[in-house]
Structure 1
Amino acid sequence: MTKKIELACLIDDDNMYISLMKKIVEVRKLCKTLLVFKNGQEALQYFETLLKNFDEHQIPEIVFLDLNMPIMDGWEFLDKFTQIKNKFGKIITLYVVSSSINPVDVSKAKGINSVTDYLIKPISLKELETVFLK
């Protein structure tokens, strides 16, 4: 039996995509709580605060990261997140989720140790359930 995901994190600036993800997660009961950040900087600040005020229950088990966002894009977030990820002492599964089908982006993302996989938007319901129910 698979363990239910308590906390997942979505880092994306597309309001329509955020609404869709929230609805799917809620209706399918894929996780208890979904954190949403509109850019990499907001998300990075959250993770850096967690390091200072450590609370294991506030560490997401899954992160969905868009690449193209304002302020701090996904690439910049990945660069900084990779430096602090291991300090949490908990496995954080990170998926890059992008509408880019550029092979350079896919290859670059998959070449980053912190990235579990590269998913292309829009993610199908089956694909999303597979990620949550692994």
Structure 2
Amino acid sequence: MNELHFFLIDDDEIFQFIMKNTIAEVNPDIKIQFFSDGEKGIDFLKQNLGAANNLPDIILLDVNMPFMDGWEFLSEYKSFQTDIKKDINIYLLTSSNNPQDIAKAHEISTLSGYLVKPISKDGIKNLISHFPTNEWYQNQF
């Protein structure tokens, strides 16, 4: 498999630090970029629509963030998704394991799955082992 490229869009710097180290332990060749809110992630994607090398394979997207939350990100992403020259798997990150939230996320066609925080090293390994997939992915909680 080619080198994976992750985007982590989450405003929690501690979570970013933990995920950076966890992903590096799983596979130090994985490239990871961080964005502190959905708006910054969307802006980067829009600026790089035709540059597949700059785009992620996987986006880990937090639900609750300032400026543009995960739901708003998904709505904006859907408006230009067809212009992106790469298949991107987006996984919603949340601390909620509420069945209603999971059902809402499952209805969004641009999502590849639902991940409940915290995500363990084994959880990252499992996610990577299922990539790429056309099936809905959900971690165990």
Q: TM-score, normalised by structure 2?
A: 0.85
Match of 1:120 in 2: 116
Q: For the residues of structure 1 that align with 2:76 and 2:29, how far apart are their CA atoms?
A: 26
Give 1:103 shift. Answer: 2.2
Work out which of the residue numbers 75, 78, 81 in structure 1 matches 2:74: 78
Determine what percentage of the aligned residue pairs are the same residue.
32
Match of 1:15 in 2: 13
Match of 2:133 in 1: none
Moved more, 75-84 or 101-110: 101-110
Contact 1:4 1:133 in 2 (8 A): no
Work out which of the residue numbers 44, 47, 57 in structure 2 matches 1:46: 44
Kindly indicate whether structure 1 or structure 2 has the higher relative contact order, using CA contacts under 8 Å at least 6 residues apart: 1
Which consecutive residues of structure 1, in runs of 5 or more, have no partner in the other structure?
none
Pair 1:25-2:36 in alignment: no
The number of residue pairs the alignment matches comes to: 130
Give the direction of change, closer, same or farther, for the CA distance of 1:112–1:18 in structure 2 (3 Å limit): same
Map of 1:82-97 to 2, 5 A cutoff? 82-97=78-93
Pair 1:66-2:62 in alignment: yes
Contact 1:4 1:31 in 2 (8 A): no
Greater helix fraction, Structure 1 or Structure 2: 1
Contact 2:38 2:70 in 1 (8 A): yes
Q: For the residues of structure 1 that align with 2:29 and 2:80, how far apart are their CA atoms?
A: 24
Q: For the residues of structure 1 that align with 2:96 and 2:25, how far apart are their CA atoms?
A: 27
Which consecutive residues of structure 2, in runs of 5 or more, have no partner in the other structure?
131-141
Q: For the residues of structure 2 that align with 1:70 and 1:5, how far apart are their CA atoms?
A: 31
Moved more, 113-122 or 85-94: 85-94
User: 2:108 is paired with a residue of what secondary structure?
Assistant: coil
Backbone CA RMSD of aligned residues:
1.4
Q: TM-score, normalised by structure 1?
A: 0.90
Give 1:4 shift. Answer: 4.0
Work out which of the residue numbers 124, 129, 132 in structure 1 matches 2:128: 132
